[in-house]
């Protein structure tokens, strides 16, 4: 084979040389420099023959004769030196490498390893003729190698399992599905020409159908029905074992599986089972289930061929409804409107049923299935019912008490006795008859009540039957405005300026009416005939008028009577007396000041006399205050010996050296105890190391929380009164000053003293600066000082 290929190549090259020699051509020196042809040096331009044209070299894949000579190339040029042949391209020095090689001496190209057409079906290589120095002796030659196919690949199905569906009762020849397979061999050869066939058939369930039901097109793989008898109620599906072979069915083979499901058609109408039912319904209830009906259907469960739809044929009032339970396919019968036992206590319903999907023409011709449902209404104690809710009443606001507003407002379906009451009436304007329910007015209405909104007053009535079942309704009373109030003139006093050079000005008056339109404005202003001699009233608009004098009047006060009427029905009017002051006007048209009017008036007390009287009153008040102050200063002196309890020879206050004791706590029940804190001076608080407050470190006194700290203390009374009868005031003044002193400890703080200091002029409490014995003192006056000194008085009682 290699020899024949070499001969063919040589003959082709010779023919090509003969053909090319007939057409000589010139090539540029730049393309073939003399450096490439050193043996032609100095000969100028030479004639070069055309390149080789070598036909494709065909190599059979998977050849075991390796290495195998494929073709030999040889240059037809005569060289003086040695020629070296080189080969490059895919399969040589490019991926996949090491598939081909060339003998660099002889130019023989050979394969080194078996070839795989499914991976690489062609190779394009280039052959070079080189000098020993590596220079190209001529242009490279292209060599194409074609790998010939062998049937070395089995066909394979495109899916591990094919799934299809066919409707039951399909006629023969009905297309079901198509299967497909592939072969990696050359599709242009018999190696990839496939043929399909069915090896075996298995029904689901097994042996349900034994005859061959399906065929297959051996070229396209289309599966079709071959026979009748596909009934889904008998057989659910088929499992087919398939085979595909190449070389038209004579080569390599492969197997596959096809599963065909028999699809259901609606060839069975639903049938009621049973066809009669009895149910009960409670009156006045709605939107609840009263029972269910059942049907049977042999079609595929869960599909539209099986799902039922129910209808009620004889319910003109729409009291009932029926729906389908999607899980069980049962018909659910419900009451959608309240039933009335007194009106009808029994219903007979006729039901029909059909499938969601339309019934197939292949189904048996049977009548539509029907069922009868007997519904019995159960009586119950119904609540009373109002004939309207809310109860609308339209009445004038000035309705007379006792007027009937509404009657026959409720009834009881069970004909029970009813009791009526008003459960809400904020203004207490209504009365209701407990037996008949007649609503009457207790008193007249008032549209200005805060409970009246948009002329509507709202109340609530309640009705209860004999069994205690009750219901309520709203009473909506629309009040119509009536003319209840006459208009009132405003203002009732004013000023009119008098000007001798022109006509007198007027007083603008208006009116206010508590009624609402149309019983208010426009107002009519008039003057009584017998009182309109010097005055007149001129209407300005619907709400205002001007009161003017008809003659020139002197300055002074005038009382003018004016009548004002509204536009209501009936018309209400009122008289009003307007006090008009006529005064002189200044240059701006305003009345002069009241002081000027008083000075210029000839009536009453003069202004100067009024000033003198006020000055005298002020002087008397000043003298009175001065006398009181002097009296207070005169009473502050020492108490003479034998005239009082507190006696001293020095001008200094003996209290400066007396340690005063606070009461131990506050709020004791013994109110008659001698309250020593009345004599306590905050300036005499313990300051020695031996004096302290309980619970407080020595040298620190407790602080008050009801007053700011570090504020100045008030001034305490320093000298005792001369008159023993004033000692109560003296002590109360000191007590008030101490209570208001923010620097003193709290009232309930116990003061404990262990050392009182030295040099006290007061001595002991038993002889407070007394220069005589107890027998020289008269202590009866202590009984007059109040309960605080009662114990002290008892101590000195000679009895």
Strands 493-498 and 573-584, how do they pair?
Answer: parallel
Query: How far, in Å, CA of 184 to CA of 192, rounded?
Result: 7
Q: What pLDDT is attached to residue 459?
A: 95
Q: Which among 616, 492, 457 has a CA at the least distance from the CA of 562?
A: 492
Query: Per-residue pLDDT averaged across 334-344, rounded?
Result: 91
Q: What pLDDT is attached to residue 700?
A: 46
Query: Per-residue pLDDT averaged across 11-34, rounded?
Result: 36
Tokens of 392: 């609308």
Q: In the block, which residue shows the tokens 């120095």?
A: 133
Look at phi and psi of residue 273 and say left if phi exceeds 0, alpha if psi is from -120 to 50, else beta.
beta
Q: What pLDDT is attached to residue 80?
A: 66
Least confident among 51-60, 260-269, 283-292: 51-60
Q: What pLDDT is attached to residue 242?
A: 96
Structure confidence at residue 16 as a pLDDT band (50, 70, 90): very low
Is residue 157 scored above 90 in pLDDT? Answer: yes
Computed over every residue of the chain, the mean pLDDT equals: 77
Is residue 753 scored above 60 in pLDDT? Answer: no
Q: What pLDDT is attached to residue 31?
A: 35
Q: Which among 160, 178, 150, 180 has a CA at the least distance from the CA of 252?
A: 150
Query: Per-residue pLDDT averaged across 55-70, rounded?
Result: 84
Structure confidence at residue 134 as a pLDDT band (50, 70, 90): confident
Is residue 290 scored above 80 in pLDDT? Answer: yes
User: Residues 386-398: pLDDT tens digits?
Assistant: 999 999 999 988 8
Q: What pLDDT is attached to residue 695?
A: 40
Q: Quick one: which H or E segment has residue 793?
A: helix 790-795
Query: Per-residue pLDDT averaged across 43-51, rounded?
Result: 38
Least confident among 283-292, 613-622, 743-752: 743-752
Query: Per-residue pLDDT averaged across 58-68, rounded?
Result: 84
Least confident among 151-160, 197-206, 742-751: 742-751
Structure confidence at residue 666 as a pLDDT band (50, 70, 90): very low
Residue 212's CB is within 10 A of a number of other CB atoms, namely 11
Is residue 424 scored above 60 in pLDDT? Answer: yes
Q: What pLDDT is attached to residue 777?
A: 64
Q: What pLDDT is attached to residue 156?
A: 94
Q: What pLDDT is attached to residue 795?
A: 73
pTM of the model: 0.41
Q: Higher confidence at residue 110 or residue 757? A: 110
Is residue 217 scored above 90 in pLDDT? Answer: yes
Query: Per-residue pLDDT averaged across 650-663, rounded?
Result: 44
The proportion of the chain whose per-residue pLDDT surpasses 70, expressed as a percent, equals 72
Query: Per-residue pLDDT averaged across 190-218, rounded?
Result: 93
Q: Quick one: which H or E segment has residue 536?
A: strand 535-539
Q: What pLDDT is attached to residue 428?
A: 92
Is residue 597 scored above 80 in pLDDT? Answer: no
Q: Which among 471, 461, 327 has a CA at the least distance from the CA of 406?
A: 461
Is residue 749 scored above 80 in pLDDT? Answer: no
Q: Which among 603, 580, 584, 602 has a CA at the least distance from the CA of 593?
A: 584
Q: What pLDDT is attached to residue 64?
A: 80
Is residue 87 scored above 50 in pLDDT? Answer: yes
Is 678 within 8 Å of 663 (Cβ atoms)?
no
Is residue 642 scored above 60 in pLDDT? Answer: no
Least confident among 117-131, 189-203, 498-512, 561-575: 498-512
Is residue 485 scored above 60 in pLDDT? Answer: yes
Is residue 147 scored above 50 in pLDDT? Answer: yes
Structure confidence at residue 649 as a pLDDT band (50, 70, 90): very low
Burial (CB < 10 A; 0-12, 13-18, 19+), residue 397, is buried
Q: Higher confidence at residue 777 or residue 682? A: 777
Is 181 within 8 Å of 244 (Cβ atoms)?
yes
Identify the top-confidence range among 62-66, 707-711, 772-776.
Answer: 62-66
Structure confidence at residue 719 as a pLDDT band (50, 70, 90): low
Query: How far, in Å, CA of 244 to CA of 178, rounded?
Result: 13
Query: Per-residue pLDDT averaged across 588-596, rounded?
Result: 61
Query: How far, in Å, CA of 335 to CA of 321, rounded?
Result: 6
What are the strands of the beta sheet with 214-216, ordered from one edge?
A: 175-178, 222-225, 214-216
Identify the top-confidence range among 100-114, 135-149, 320-334, 592-606.
Answer: 320-334
Q: What pLDDT is attached to residue 325?
A: 95
Is residue 670 scored above 80 in pLDDT? Answer: no
Neighbouring-strand partners of residue 260: 164, 238
Is 94 within 8 Å of 55 (Cβ atoms)?
no
Query: Per-residue pLDDT averaged across 240-258, rounded?
Result: 93
Query: Per-residue pLDDT averaged across 106-110, rounded?
Result: 87
Is residue 646 scored above 50 in pLDDT? Answer: no
Q: Higher confidence at residue 620 or residue 24? A: 620
Query: Per-residue pLDDT averaged across 317-339, rounded?
Result: 95
Query: How far, in Å, CA of 727 to CA of 789, rounded?
Result: 11
Q: What pLDDT is attached to residue 506?
A: 84
Q: Higher confidence at residue 429 or residue 653? A: 429
Least confident among 176-180, 412-416, 668-672, 785-789: 668-672
Is residue 163 scored above 60 in pLDDT? Answer: yes
Query: How far, in Å, CA of 203 to CA of 431, rounded?
Result: 89
Q: What pLDDT is attached to residue 589?
A: 62
Q: Higher confidence at residue 514 or residue 343? A: 343
Query: How far, in Å, CA of 636 to CA of 653, rounded?
Result: 12
Q: In the block, which residue shows the tokens 């390893």?
A: 113
Least confident among 295-304, 367-376, 462-471, 592-601: 592-601
Q: What pLDDT is attached to residue 245?
A: 95
């Amino acid at each position: 084979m290699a020899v024949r290929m070499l001969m063919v190549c040589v003959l082709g090259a010779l023919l090509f040389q003969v053909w090319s020699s007939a057409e000589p051509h010139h090539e540029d020196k730049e393309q073939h420099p003399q450096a490439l042809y050193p043996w032609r040096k100095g000969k100028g331009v030479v004639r070069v023959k055309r390149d080789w044209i070598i036909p494709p070299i065909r190599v059979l894949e998977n050849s075991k004769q390796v290495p195998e000579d494929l073709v030999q190339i040889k240059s037809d040029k005569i060289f003086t030196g040695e020629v070296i042949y080189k080969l490059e391209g895919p399969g040589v020095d490019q991926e996949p490498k090491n598939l081909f090689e060339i003998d660099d001496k002889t130019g023989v190209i050979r394969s080194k390893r078996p070839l795989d057409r499914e991976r690489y079906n062609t190779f394009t290589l280039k052959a070079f003729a080189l000098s020993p120095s590596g220079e190209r002796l001529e242009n490279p030659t292209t060599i194409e190698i074609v790998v010939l196919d062998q049937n070395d690949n089995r066909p394979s199905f495109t899916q591990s399992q094919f799934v299809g569906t066919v409707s039951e009762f399909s006629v023969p020849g009905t297309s079901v599905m198509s299967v497909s397979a592939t072969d990696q061999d050359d599709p242009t050869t018999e190696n990839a020409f496939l043929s399909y066939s069915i090896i075996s058939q298995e029904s689901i369930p097994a042996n349900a159908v034994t005859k061959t039901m399906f065929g297959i097109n051996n070229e396209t793989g289309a599966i079709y029905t071959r026979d009748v008898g596909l009934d889904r109620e008998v057989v659910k599906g088929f499992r087919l074992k398939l085979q595909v072979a190449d070389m038209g069915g004579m080569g390599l083979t492969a197997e596959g599986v096809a599963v065909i499901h028999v699809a259901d058609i609606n060839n069975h109408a639903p049938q009621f089972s049973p066809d009669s039912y009895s149910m009960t319904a409670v009156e006045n209830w709605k939107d609840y289930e009263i029972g269910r009906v059942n049907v049977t259907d042999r079609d595929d469960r869960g599909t539209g061929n099986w799902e039922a739809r129910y209808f009620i044929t004889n319910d003109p009032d729409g009291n009932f409804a029926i729906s389908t339970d999607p899980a069980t396919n049962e018909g659910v019968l419900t009451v959608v409107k309240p039933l009335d036992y007194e009106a009808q206590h029994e219903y007979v319903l006729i039901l029909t049923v059909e499938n969601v999907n339309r019934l197939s023409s292949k189904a048996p011709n049977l009548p539509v299935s029907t069922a009868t449902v007997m519904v019995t209404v159960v009586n119950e104690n119904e609540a009373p019912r109002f004939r309207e809710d809310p109860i609308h009443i339209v009445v004038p606001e000035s309705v007379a008490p006792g007027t009937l507003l509404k009657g026959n407002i409720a009834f009881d379906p069970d004909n029970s006795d009813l009791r009526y009451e008003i459960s809400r009436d904020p203004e207490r304007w209504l009365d209701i008859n407990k037996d008949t329910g007649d609503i009457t007015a207790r008193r007249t209405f008032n549209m200005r009540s805060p409970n009246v909104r948009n002329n509507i007053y709202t109340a609530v009535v309640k009705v209860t039957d004999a069994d205690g079942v009750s219901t309520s309704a709203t009473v909506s009373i629309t009040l119509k405005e009536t003319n209840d109030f006459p208009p009132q003139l405003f203002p009732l006093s004013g000023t009119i300026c008098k000007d001798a050079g022109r006509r007198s000005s007027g007083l603008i008056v208006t009116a206010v009416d508590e009624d609402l339109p149309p019983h208010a404005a426009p107002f009519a202003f008039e003057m009584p005939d017998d009182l309109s001699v010097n005055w007149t009233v001129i209407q300005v608009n619907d709400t205002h008028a001007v009161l003017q004098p008809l003659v020139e009047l002197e300055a002074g006060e005038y009382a003018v009577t004016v009548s004002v009427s509204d536009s209501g029905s009936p018309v209400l009017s009122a008289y009003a007396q307007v006090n008009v002051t006529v005064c002189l006007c200044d240059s701006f048209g305003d009345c002069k000041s009241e002081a000027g009017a008083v000075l210029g008036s000839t009536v009453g007390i003069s202004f100067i006399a009024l000033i003198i009287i006020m000055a005298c009153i002020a002087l008397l008040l000043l003298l009175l205050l001065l006398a009181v102050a002097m009296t207070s200063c005169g009473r502050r002196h020492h108490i003479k010996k034998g005239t009082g309890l507190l006696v001293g020879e020095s001008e200094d206050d003996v209290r400066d050296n007396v340690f005063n004791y606070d009461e131990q706590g506050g709020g004791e029940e013994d109110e008659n105890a001698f309250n020593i804190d009345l004599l306590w001076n905050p300036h005499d608080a313990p300051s020695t190391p031996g004096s302290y407050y309980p619970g407080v470190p020595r040298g620190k006194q407790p602080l008050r929380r009801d007053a700011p700290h570090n504020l100045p203390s008030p001034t305490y009374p320093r000298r005792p009164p001369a008159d023993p009868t004033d000692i109560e005031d003296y002590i109360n003044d000191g007590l008030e000053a101490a209570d208001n002193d923010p620097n003193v400890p709290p009232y309930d703080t116990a003061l404990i003293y262990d050392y009182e200091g030295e040099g006290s002029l007061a001595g002991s409490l038993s002889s407070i600066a007394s220069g005589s014995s107890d027998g020289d003192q008269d202590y009866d006056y202590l009984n007059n000082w109040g309960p605080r000194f009662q114990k002290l008085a008892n101590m000195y009682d000679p009895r």
